C-alpha cells in the first residue's frame, strides 16, 4: 500500500498566499510609483485637473478654433482623462484581486477534496485487501 504525499507546490502555495496587485510592487521605485498612482488616480484629482484646465479655456477660445481644439485634445482630455482612466484601472484591479482571491479559495478547496479522496482510496484499498485476504482464508465449500 502506498502513502499519499501532497505535492510540494501545495505548501509553497500556502506560504505565499493569494497574489494581489498590492503584493506586486518592488523596492523603492515600485513603492513611489504606487503612491503617485494612488494619489493621481482619484476622482478628486480629476476634478482638480479639470479646474486647472478650465483656467486656460478663455485664452483658447480667444485664440480661435485651432487653439480650442488643441486645448481640448492636449489639455483637457489628457489632464482629466488620465485620472479618470486611472480610477477605472484601480476599480478593475480591485475586482481582479477579488477574483484572484476567490480562485485561490476554490483551488484550496479542490486541493483539500483531492487529499480527502486519497485518504478514502487508501482506506478503500485497505478494506479491499482485508476482504480479499478473508475470502482466501475461508474454507472451500
Question: pLDDT of 11-52, one tens digit each?
Answer: 777 777 777 766 766 788 888 888 888 888 899 999 999 999
How many domains are there within the chain? 1
Q: Which three cell numbers stand for residue 106?
A: 476554490
**Residue 128 counted as domain residue:** yes
Nearest CA to 90 out of 46, 41, 34 is that of 41
Residue with cell 480661435: 64
**Residue 14 counted as domain residue:** no
Separation of alpha carbons 62 and 81, rounded Å: 24
**pLDDT per residue as tens digits for the range 83-133:** 899 899 888 988 888 998 899 889 888 988 988 898 899 999 999 999 999
* The model's pTM: 0.58
**Residue 43 counted as domain residue:** yes
**Residue 129 counted as domain residue:** yes
Q: Which domain holds residue 55?
A: 21-137
**Residue 5 counted as domain residue:** no
Amino acid at each position: 500500500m502506498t502513502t499519499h504525499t501532497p505535492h510540494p507546490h501545495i505548501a509553497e502555495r500556502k506560504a505565499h498566499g493569494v497574489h494581489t496587485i498590492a503584493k506586486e510592487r518592488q523596492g523603492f521605485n515600485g513603492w513611489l510609483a504606487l503612491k503617485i498612482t494612488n494619489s493621481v488616480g482619484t476622482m478628486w484629482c480629476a476634478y482638480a485637473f479639470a479646474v486647472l484646465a478650465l483656467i486656460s479655456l478663455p485664452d483658447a477660445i480667444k485664440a480661435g478654433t485651432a487653439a480650442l481644439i488643441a486645448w481640448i485634445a492636449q489639455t483637457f482630455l489628457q489632464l482629466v482623462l488620465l485620472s479618470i482612466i486611472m480610477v477605472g484601472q484601480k476599480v478593475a484591479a480591485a475586482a481582479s484581486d477579488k477574483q484572484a482571491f476567490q480562485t485561490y479559495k476554490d483551488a484550496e478547496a479542490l486541493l483539500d477534496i483531492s487529499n480527502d479522496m486519497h485518504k478514502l482510496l487508501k482506506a478503500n484499498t485497505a478494506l479491499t485487501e482485508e476482504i480479499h485476504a478473508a475470502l482466501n482464508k475461508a474454507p472451500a465449500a
